[in-house]
């Protein structure tokens, strides 16, 4: 697996998934899209169709991703995170999403909430051996191509864009070269 693409288990997944699916109505729409405001800690009510379930959606989402994101950031010595866009996508038999990347954030993530067929995981074309299971979250740089191939069963994912920020004062200066060939 590529060093920058990491898969983590979601702790207490069965409980969190059950609560999430009980609180988010996916019957009325193909997806649920919401912009997360890191300053207010709220999802934009104009786009999310959550009504009074905004706080529960945020609570469950953050409980699923906080520890994996923290572990990922620790690996790269990044001290802060800004959450961007969060959406839920439901696929039914034959549904798919073409290869794509994400813009306006430096990181992406996908939680596999429901995978009726274990082969319906999110695919990374340059890492074909990566098989994400139900109950796992994959974190990756947003420019990393990925797709949902046509599914054989129902699939529900919780996807998100986020930014991680680091302090370059601790960067290994021996890795930085200036034009005349000397180390910085």
Strand order in the sheet with 78-91: 6-9, 136-141, 107-115, 155-166, 78-91, 31-37, 42-43
Residue 135's pLDDT is 97
Most confident of the ranges 60-69, 77-86, 170-179? 60-69
Is this structure's pTM higher than 0.85? no
Which helix H or strand E contains 107, and what residues bound it? strand 107-115
**Residue boundaries of the structural domains of the chain:** 6-175
Smallest Cα–Cα separation from 159: which of 84, 104, 96?
84
Are 137 and 68 in contact, with CB atoms under 8 Å apart?
yes
Beta-carbon neighbour count of residue 48 at 10 Å? Answer: 21
Structure tokens at 62: 């953050």
Domain 6-175: give its CATH code: 2.60.120.620
* Residues 70-120 pLDDT 10s: 999 988 888 788 887 788 888 888 887 777 888 778 999 999 999 999 999
């Amino acid at each position: 697996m590529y060093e920058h693409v990491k898969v983590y288990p979601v702790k207490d997944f069965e409980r969190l998934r059950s609560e999430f699916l009980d609180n988010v109505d996916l019957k009325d729409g193909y997806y649920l899209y919401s912009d997360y405001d890191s300053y207010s800690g709220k999802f934009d009510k104009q786009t999310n169709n959550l009504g009074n379930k905004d706080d529960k959606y945020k609570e469950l989402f953050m409980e699923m991703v906080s520890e994996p994101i923290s572990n990922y950031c620790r690996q790269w010595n990044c001290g802060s995170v800004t959450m961007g866009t969060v959406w839920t996508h439901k696929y039914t038999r034959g549904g798919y999403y073409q290869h794509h990347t994400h813009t306006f954030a430096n990181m992406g993530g996908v939680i596999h909430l429901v995978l009726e067929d274990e082969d319906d995981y999110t695919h990374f074309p340059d890492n074909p051996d990566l098989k994400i299971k139900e109950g796992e979250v994959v974190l990756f740089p947003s420019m990393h191509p990925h797709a949902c191939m046509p599914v054989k069963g129902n699939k529900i994912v919780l996807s998100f864009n986020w930014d991680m920020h680091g302090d370059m004062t601790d960067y290994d200066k021996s890795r930085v070269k200036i034009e005349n060939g000397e180390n910085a």
